[in-house]
Structure formats: C-alpha cells, structure tokens
Structure 1
C-alpha cells in the first residue's frame, strides 16, 4: 500500500472553485475521463450529495493487459458532498473494475483558506493497493507517479473551467448590456 498526499491553493473563492471542480470533466487538459453518469443526487439538511460513475481510459502497456486482463478502460464511483453552510466539498473516488489486482481510493477536500478566505485549499489523498505479488513495489510507484501527473492536470482542468465560467459570464453580461442599450434606444425613439 502506498499513500500520496498533496495540498494546492487556488487563488479563487471557494464557491467558484467547487463549481468548477464539479464541472471539471470533460476538459482538454485531462482527456482520460470520457464519460460521466449521475446515478443519484439529493439535498439533505442543505448538503448536496451526489453519486456519479466515471469512465476513464488510460494507455497501458500490452504486457500489463496480458498479465491482468485490464484493457485500460476504468470505471470509478465518485461520491461527493457539497456543504455550503460549512464551505466544504468532499469528493471520494474508488475504482470499480480491476479490483482483483488494483484498488485506488482518492479523497479531495476543498475548503476556504483560513489565512486568506478569497482562496481555496484543495487537499488530495490517494491510497493505492496492488495485489500482484511480484510487481507490487514497481506497480505502486508507477501508478503514484502517474497519479501525481494526473492530479496536476486535474488542478489545471479546474482553472480551465474557471476561465470558461468567467468568459461565459462576460459574454452573457455583454449581451444583456447590449440588448438593454438597444431597448433604451428603441424606447426613446417612440
């Protein structure tokens, strides 16, 4: 078993970051996730709880596929809670296939930065268990290196979504302003 942890500060308010984190897939910076299905969503005591299934595809060496039968298509269950009153979002993810030789549990927590409430702290943890006796050390190290690279892509993906949300807002705002100006001009001519 190997554990990887990381902390990252987004220079954006919590509500902006969690909106983007929930909408981060698909994005061009991490094309591994190619399918998302919402299984269940509910609000209980003001907390949004969601269950989603994610489909990802990872290129893997042919020898790994022959050894394990794993084709590189991964299905994962993501459980999330968004608690606006306490300003906390927690996402946990676990792979659903390939469990006979690999289990990955991931936890991401988003909270406002106590020293700068305009920023958001992301705490990430991944626990990897490989059940291939001869290859355990090699596989766990390799997977965690890949995970670390993908975590960076994930953070960049959140920034990409934030930029898109801002651009959408600016485009809508400009359109509304233009239409209001047209309306005012039209009304003054009457």
Structure 2
C-alpha cells in the first residue's frame, strides 16, 4: 500500500467551501470534464447531531491504456462511491470515497476534510486529502510496487488539477451568490 496526502488552505470561509463542495463537478469547472454524472443515492440528516450524510455515485470517463483494457477487460467508464458527512456544529465536512471500477486490480480509498482554519477561522478553510492505494496483483511485490507508485503519481497530478478546478468553482460561487445576496439586500 502507498499513501498520498496533501493539505492546503482555501481563502474562503468554511460556509463558502462547504456550499461550493456540492458544485465542484459543475459545467464551469473545466478541470473536471472527466466527470459525466453525479447521482445522489441517499441523503439523511441525523436529528440529534444535525449531521448531513450523503451517499453519491460518481461516474467518470477515464483515459485507460488500451493494453490494460485488453488485459483486464472493461471500459473507460468508471464509478466511484462517495459518502460525505457535513457537521454544521463543528463545521467539518468529511468525504470518503472508493473506486468501484477496477477494484479487483487497484483499490483506492480517499478521505477529504474541510474545516475552518485555526489561523483565520472566519475567512479560511483547511483542506486535507489522503488516499490509500493498494494494488492487488497477487504475490508479485515488484509489480505491485510499480503499479502503486504510478497510481500515486497520477493521483498527485489529478489532485492538483482538482484543487485548481475547485478554486474556479469557489471564485464563481462567490461572484454569483455574492451578487444574489446583494440583490436580496437591495430588495429588502
């Protein structure tokens, strides 16, 4: 197993980030064009804690090498199962996802959290991301290591693009919903 982890700080409040999180695969995010569908499987709110729990199925169109498809079969369409928890009291979003496609070859378990920055809790949000990547290639340790190393590198590249895309979504959300709030204030 190999682990990829990263952190960063977004210059947006937790309220803005936790709201924009639901829009991160929207059409104006040109870094997420591989996401072709997001289906909500279930959504519940715990009446005691107020925690919103959401299960989603994310469908992606991945670039998979032709030799890999011929070796293992399958298609370029892949699915990811995601469970998220939004805790409005502690102001923490936790998202856990795992790949459903190719899981017999490579298992990826990702955890992402968003929480107010300790340095500037009202205007900045801390982002943490960790992915545990395990290749399931039987007893061939050298092959497993190479597959895991390559997967971590690809995950790193995709994570960087994902952060860039989310920054675009955050900026656009602030602009659009800021204008909406200004209009609402003007009408009052």
Question: How far does residue 67 in structure 1 lie from its aligned partner after superposition?
Answer: 1.5
Task: Indicate the residue corresponding to 1:56 in structure 2.
Answer: 60
Runs of 4+ displaced beyond 6 Å: none
**1:79-90 mapped onto 2 (5 Å cutoff):** 79-90=83-94
**Counterpart secondary structure, 1:89:** strand
Structure with bigger gyration radius = 1
Which ranges in structure 1 are unaligned for 5 or more consecutive residues?
Answer: 181-190
Measured in 1, the distance between the counterparts of 2:157 and 2:32 equals 10
Q: Does 1:125 align with 2:127?
A: no
How many residues align? The count is 179
CA contact (8 A) 2:16 2:174 kept: no
Deviations 1:30-84 (A, max 9, x none): 2121110000001112111100000012112111111121323210110000001
Task: Indicate the residue corresponding to 1:40 in structure 2.
Answer: 42
TM superposition score normalised by structure 2: 0.88
The farther-off stretch of 20-29 and 71-80 is 20-29
Task: Indicate the residue corresponding to 2:159 in structure 1.
Answer: 151
Task: Name the CA shift for 1:112/1:30 in 2 (closer, same or farther; >3 Å).
Answer: same
Which ranges in structure 2 are unaligned for 5 or more consecutive residues?
Answer: none
Task: Indicate the residue corresponding to 1:5 in structure 2.
Answer: 5
